[in-house]
Structure 1
Amino acid sequence: MTEEEYIPSSADTVDEDLAQMTDEEHQARTQAYLAGLQQYELEDDDQQILEGFEEAESFAELDFVPPVVAVVGRPNVGKSTLVNRIIGRRQAVVEDVPGVTRDRVFYEAEWNGRPFTVADTGGWEYGVKGLAGKVAEQAERAVQRADAVLFVVDATVGITATDEAIVTMLRKANKPITLVANKADGQSHEADAAMLWGLGFGYPWPVSALHGRGTADLLDALLEELPEESAYKDVLTARGPRRVALVGRPNVGKSSLLNSLAGSARAVVDDTAGTTRDPVDELIELDGDIWEFIDTAGIRRRQHMASGSDYYASLRTRAALERAEVAVVLLEASQPLSEQDVRIIQIVLDTGRALVLAFNKWDLLDEDRRLDLEREVDLDLQHVSWAPRINISAKTGWHKNRLVPALETSLDSWETRIPTGKLNSFIGELVAAHPHPVRGGKQPRILFATQSSTRPPKFVLFTTGFLDPGYRRFIINRLRQYFGFEGSPIELTMRVRERRKR
């Protein structure tokens, strides 16, 4: 085996020859290859691969939007801990310092068979400016779009001036309010919770979000306030919105792009790197279709270098990529490409998601920087030269209209299936023109090719021996040249089989 690139010794006419072949000829060649493959020892799961896969996937009709519950309160009263308790998993970022949650973040939840959505919010403070002011604004937006509110107060501290200011804000919103007296870890604290009657929102439910005490009774009371369906539902497509993850290093402009696309301050934006901690979901209508954008925390140089909330935010960014279909990697055009940028792109490739490269802050470039950037792209991003590339300014919205065509191109490639007949004709013509090099006196042959799945496209080659990595890359590059696959990674695996013993 060698890591050297395979370089064809001469040009070929594969494209021209395939263009002249009919569907019947493709099918005939495939049947001949398949008959030859039967002379080799096949394993039990080989037949399943050879039979192909379901081309069409079923998507449930989304005709129901669960009610939304906003969880609000001043900083560090345990809102995210309560959210984790309600949804039954450690999803919201939690740390024992105030101000960890900054955006409004949505999670799916269920209690006694009733589904609902929980909106976790940053700590609300009165009269603050800067980043804290933006966080408070996000909490108010969450209340406006919610069907009910959980108002969380620290039972061990009692009513503060900030709590009283939140009461004023909530009364203006005119939403059903359930008062939560958190950190009531024992009987002694229940007496402290009784003091919260003075807020005027009825019975203060004593709970310990950390230990789970009292949360079942709280949820029972909450369900009585919730409608069957949200009054603020968005219009969704039949298959649901396509899911797009915005990823990149800290402060590269992910939240600014989300806000520009949404036409509002959906995510907290600040000059401080690392403002976003939780993945932020937003449904946005673009060109007549609904898209679900997931703004993620910036991925730092090395995960082990991050600590506390930054470490867990990095984990959630990777989880957000797993549930997305396509990733938009934002790169700062005005700054040199870094090892960190390349590593982030590799994370996307490892998850098998479709890819779009967005060079942000393009309006800050001068001519010298543009020339340097082109050289950096050729040097560092050659392995993703197949990804659509757009130049944008997230802050001003310049060229944001180019994002949807790039996303559609990548997603179409990500879901493309090549007919088995045409694929085998292509492989047959390619191998005839450029056979695998002889290694150790042997020359491995490709017996049959099939596409085992899409999202991303995965191809399986049945061979008589191991194919060099360089030769496999050559096949992938020619697949791209002939079939496209712009914006989608391609996976190519081998199944080495021996001839049946007579």
Structure 2
Amino acid sequence: KKYSTENNIPTVILLGRPNVGKSTLFNRLIGQKLAIESVAAGTTRDWREFVVEKKDKTFKLIDCAGLEKVKEPMFKDIELMLDRLVKSADLLLWVVDGALGLDNQDRALIAKVRSYNKPTWVVVNKCDNAQRLSESEKEFEELGFQHVILLSALHSKNVHTLWHELTDWLEDFEKNPIEQTKNQALKFSIIGRPNVGKSSLLNALLKFKRSVVSDIPGTTRDSVSVEVNSEALDWRDSDPIVLNFTDTAGIRRKNKITGNIENDSIKQAIEVMEESEITLFVMDAQEIISKQDLHVAGLAHKMKKSIIIVVNKWDKILAQKKSKSDSELQSKFINRLLVRAKFLKSCPIIFTSAATNFNLEELSELLQLMWLSRNVEIENKILDRFVSKCQFPILKRISKIEQISTNPPTFMIYNIGLFQTVEINQLKNAIRETFDLFSTPIKIQFFESEE
């Protein structure tokens, strides 16, 4: 049987209006907290996905933004994004609020859900007592959907019934274990303070709308991930690999954080950055480099990430200052940045516009170069030549150097005596400059000889 997902596993989508408990049910089903839970309606504005493996069953579970009839442009984008996503679904779980019962909002969405023409089950959430269970079952069964399942995701009541139904449904699909796990994908994190254009950049880079875009700071609350094949970015001269991009919530300084939702979003963004290998640090070209920018970049630097500085919205600078050349404006911006952030001196800087696609092909090429730099393999004889020719005093106390792993490049140093931190940094910089490794983190291990 042909499945509608790229990995040939069935896709199950949770949908429903805001604040019915979709994210709580999502977390309950995957067994960990990935989606942010809150009583505030509309907390999920993009979507979250997770490959669930339970015993011998595998499926992709997706938690969507809330469906609602609102005229604001941002919510129209959410609806369009959801329509596109549902096309790939094999099963829809329409989550409703059993505590409130079937209300006018639900009735307004019935036609929308039926229009998807997908197998649909009604999951009646927040059924925490026997009387509510009985009332909800009669009320929602009248809608005529194939399955009506009553449960409480928050208190884990009757969730096992949903699992049992899902297991029976999955029996109809051929078993097809995942060959490539999430850990095998090359992971990129997209970070920056709120409203610098991170979501727009991701959409433009991937050439489709993955993240919801708005001028309202803080629109992205969950960290939004998407996996694509490297061929989608026109990577050449290398075997195709899976690329995982995660668009994070805007990171503010601790004293600027307001509310538990934003606090959870920022914790999630930092966790995503820790798990990634390459970080795109996005800045707004129109704004002065702030302490907040330095704070965000400093986090990535401390985590030893490969950092690309992406100066977004550059088209607006060019439009405002037509009397000056592009190169002159870029040089001025870089000088101003490095005066305040010397630790970013070795990082490549690229000026882009998500709105006009300016320099996005060059950004894609730069991402590939960064990946190649992280996976470079240097032969021992070339390293021996590096040691013999390099003029740094530290190398006179090294008897041998070997590369022992990649991603990031890791070297074993056979030395006599101890080294100071400044000497180790000099060695790392010398390796980067000699072998064109950009801002790739380098790990050094020492083997002190008995001599």
Give the SS at the match of 1:204.
strand
- 1:193-208 maps to which residues of 2 (within 5 A)? 193-194=136-137, 195-208=139-152
Question: What whole-Å deviation, never above 9, does each CA across 1:168-199 have from its counterpart, x for those lacking one?
Answer: 11111110111101011232221132121122
Match of 2:367 among 398, 407, 416: 407
TM-score, normalized by length of structure 1? 0.78
Match of 2:305 among 353, 356, 360: 353
The residue identity in structure 1 corresponding to 2:157 is: R
Q: Is the 8 A contact 1:164 1:199 kept in 2?
A: no
Pairwise CA distance, 1:241: 5.4
Give the SS at the match of 1:209.
coil
Pairwise CA distance, 1:349: 3.2
Give the corresponding residue for 1:266: 210
The residue identity in structure 2 corresponding to 1:182 is: N
The residue identity in structure 2 corresponding to 1:420 is: N
2:81, 2:63 → 1: CA distance?
Answer: 10
Q: Is the 8 A contact 1:336 1:376 kept in 2?
A: no
Match of 2:287 among 306, 319, 335: 335
Give the SS at the match of 2:142.
helix
Q: CA RMSD in A?
A: 2.9
1:478, 1:371 → 2: CA distance?
Answer: 25
Give the corresponding residue for 1:29: none
Q: Is the 8 A contact 2:432 2:440 kept in 1?
A: no
Count of equivalent residues: 426
Which has the larger Rg?
1
Q: Is the 8 A contact 1:131 1:270 kept in 2?
A: yes
Give the corresponding residue for 1:81: 24
Give the corresponding residue for 1:383: 343
Pairwise CA distance, 1:393: 0.3
Question: What whole-Å deviation, never above 9, does each CA across 1:123-147 have from its counterpart, x for those lacking one?
Answer: 1102432333333333333322211
Give the SS at the match of 1:199.
coil
Pairwise CA distance, 1:63: 8.6
1:306, 1:427 → 2: CA distance?
Answer: 52
- Structure showing greater relative contact order (alpha-carbon pairs closer than 8 Å, 6 or more residues apart): 1
Give the corresponding residue for 1:426: 386
The residue identity in structure 2 corresponding to 1:287 is: D
Q: 1:339 to 1:459 in 2, by over 3 A?
A: farther
Give the SS at the match of 1:96.
coil
- 1:187-266 maps to which residues of 2 (within 5 A)? 187-194=130-137, 195-226=139-170, 228=173, 242-266=186-210
Pairwise CA distance, 1:420: 2.8
Give the corresponding residue for 1:374: 334
Q: 1:250 to 1:475 in 2, by over 3 A?
A: same
Question: What whole-Å deviation, never above 9, does each CA across 1:272-327 have from its counterpart, x for those lacking one?
Answer: 11111122122442216664322111111238845311111112222323443322
1:304, 1:216 → 2: CA distance?
Answer: 41
Match of 1:72 among 15, 19, 28: 15
Pairwise CA distance, 1:424: 3.5
Unaligned runs of at least 5 residues, structure 1: 1-61, 438-443
Q: Is the 8 A contact 2:187 2:276 kept in 1?
A: yes
Percent identity over paired residues: 30
1:262, 1:434 → 2: CA distance?
Answer: 43
Match of 1:286 among 217, 227, 233: 233
Q: 1:162 to 1:102 in 2, by over 3 A?
A: same
2:330, 2:363 → 1: CA distance?
Answer: 21
Q: Does 1:185 align with 2:128?
A: yes
Pairwise CA distance, 1:408: 0.9
Unaligned runs of at least 5 residues, structure 2: none
The residue identity in structure 1 corresponding to 2:208 is: S
